[in-house]
Structure 1
Amino acid sequence: MLDMSHLTTLSDALEQSIIDKDIEQIQQLCEDNSAFIYTIVPQSNAADNEKIKQFILVHQTATQLIRDVHAEMQKQLYQTNKTRKGVSKYKGVKNAK
């Protein structure tokens, strides 16, 4: 049997972390509750299924936020490396004391 109170608590915490754009908190919540998340299955009660659907939407939003942040970090890292390579071409920089 799925613990609906835990699901509700997790959903609320995840939603607040999304609002705050707290990436570390989102990752921690998902990591700490990974086993629980994988046990979620449809229930016979329609109200419980609505809570599950709501959690799925929140989880998808959190996952997308993590992907977007990761992509932005990759882009910034690429720009940093590109700039470093461009700067190192100048002899004055290499020979600077």
Structure 2
Amino acid sequence: MFDMSHLITLSAALEQSITDRDIDQIQQLCEDNNRFILTIEPLDDPAANEKIRHFILVHQSAIRLIRDVRSEMQKQLYQTHKTRKGVNKYKGVKHAE
């Protein structure tokens, strides 16, 4: 069995990190609590299961945010690379004799 108070604390910390869009903090929280997260199982208590569901939704939101940020960074990296190639071609033509 896992520690319900830790689950509540982790949910609150993840929610705050999502609100702040603090990707580093989200990744750190998930990395530090990976073993704990993997031990979460449904319980007989409906109130406890509701807290577990809430954590799952928060965790999914955090993962979605990280994926979106990663995707945006890849797009920006591609654009930067594409621009540099274009600039290099232009420089080559500009200095040609």
**What stretches of structure 2 of length at least 5 have no aligned partner?**
none
- Change beyond 3 A, Cα 1:17–1:76: same
Asked if structure 2 preserves the Cα contact closer than 8 Å seen for 1:87 and 1:93, the reply is no
Specify the alignment match of 1:32 in structure 2: 32
What is the alpha-carbon distance in structure 2 between the residues aligned to residue 76 and residue 82 of structure 1? 10
Counting aligned pairs with the same residue, the percent is 69
Counting only pairs closer than 5 Å after superposition, residues 1-97 of structure 1 correspond to structure 2 as 1-90=1-90, 91=92
Aligned AA (2:50)? E
Deviations 1:1-55 (A, max 9, x none): 1210000000000000000000000000000000000000101111100000000
Q: Distance in 1 between matches of 2:24 and 2:37?
A: 18
CA drift of 1:62 comes to 0.3
2:43 partner SS: coil
**What is the TM-score normalised by the length of structure 2?**
0.93
Structure 1 unaligned spans of 5+: none
Contact 1:11/1:58 (8 A) holds in 2: yes
Give secondary structure in 1 for the equivalent of 2:80. helix
| Distance (whole Å) between structure 1 residues aligned to residue 44 and residue 35 of structure 2 | 21
Q: How many residues align?
A: 95
SS in 2 for 1:89: helix
Contact 1:88 / 1:94 at 8 angstroms: preserved in 2?
A: no
Structure 2: distance between partners of 1:13 and 1:94? 56
After superposition, the CA RMSD in angstroms is: 1.4
TM-score calculated relative to the size of structure 1: 0.93
